[in-house]
Amino acid sequence: MLAAPLDNPALVIFDGSPAAAVAVGLLAQPERSVIWVQQSQQDPRHTCVMGCAAAMGDATGARVLTAAVVTTAGHTGGDPLAASVLLLEATRVAYIEGLSQVVQGVAMGDEGIAAIGDVVDRCGLVSGLAQIDIHSQAPDDDITSLAVIAPLVDLKLAQVAELFEDLALPRAAVGICDRAQAPGCGACAGCRRWTSALQVASERFDVAAVL
C-alpha cells in the first residue's frame, strides 16, 4: 500500500477531496475518530461536501462534526494565512475532543516540491504552536501532545485513486465536481480527472488479479 494505516484516533479535516476520503479510510480506529467539516452554508459545495462526509461516516463509523468557517479579516480560503488558521482551529477542536492527532488529507504530488514543502512546513509550525499551548495552559491534562500530519502530501492523484480502490471506499465519498453537483456532473474538469484516475487504478487491479 502507498500509505500506512493511521494507528491513532484522529480528527481528519474533510473537504470532499479524494485525499481526504482516503485519509479517513486509513484510520485504524475510525469509531474513535472525527471527520471534521468546516463549510459555510453560503458555499455552493456545502451540500455536496456534507453528503461526502456522511458517506464516509456510514462506511467507517467515524463521527461527522461540522463547524462554521473561521475567517481572518481581509483573507480568503485560498491564501496561506487562511490555511494556517484552519489548522489551528482543527487542533483546538481535536483537543476538546480528546484527540492527539489532526490529519490534513491533501495530496500535492502533482503540484511539485514547493507545494509539498509548504504543507509540511505549515503542519510542523502548527504542531509546535499546539504543543506550546498544551504545555502552558493544561500541563496536567490527559492530552500531552498534539500533532498535525499530512500523510498523503507527496502523492499524486493517480496514487490516491489506487489507495481509494485498495480501501474499497464508496464513490459517494468524493465530491470534486467543479459544478458542485453530487455525486458529480461527469463532464467538468474535476470529474474527468477523478474518473480517469479511478479508471487507471481499476485497470491496475484487474491486471494484478490476472497475474
CA distance 104 to 85: 13
Residue type, 20: A
Average pLDDT, integer, range 23-36: 98
Predicted structure pTM score = 0.88
Contact partners, residue 4, CB within 8 Å, separation at least 6: 26, 151
Mean residue pLDDT of the chain comes to 87
Which cell numbers hold the place of 186? 461527469
Average pLDDT, integer, range 25-31: 98
Average pLDDT, integer, range 1-11: 90
**What pLDDT does 143 receive?**
63
3 state SS of 148:
strand
Rank 2-6, 93-97, 139-143 by mean pLDDT and report only the highest: 93-97
Q: Which CATH class is domain 11-210?
A: alpha beta
Alpha-carbon distance values, 27 to 16, 35, 44, 76, 210 (Å): 16, 11, 29, 30, 29
| Strands of the sheet with 147-149, listed across from one edge | 63-67, 34-38, 11-14, 101-104, 147-149
Residues 120-133 have pLDDT tens digits of 999 999 999 988 87
Quickly count: other Cβ atoms within 10 Å of residue 11's Cβ: 27
CA angle 10, 95, 172 (to 5 degrees): 35
Q: Which residues pair with 34 in a beta bridge?
A: 11, 63
Average pLDDT, integer, range 46-55: 92
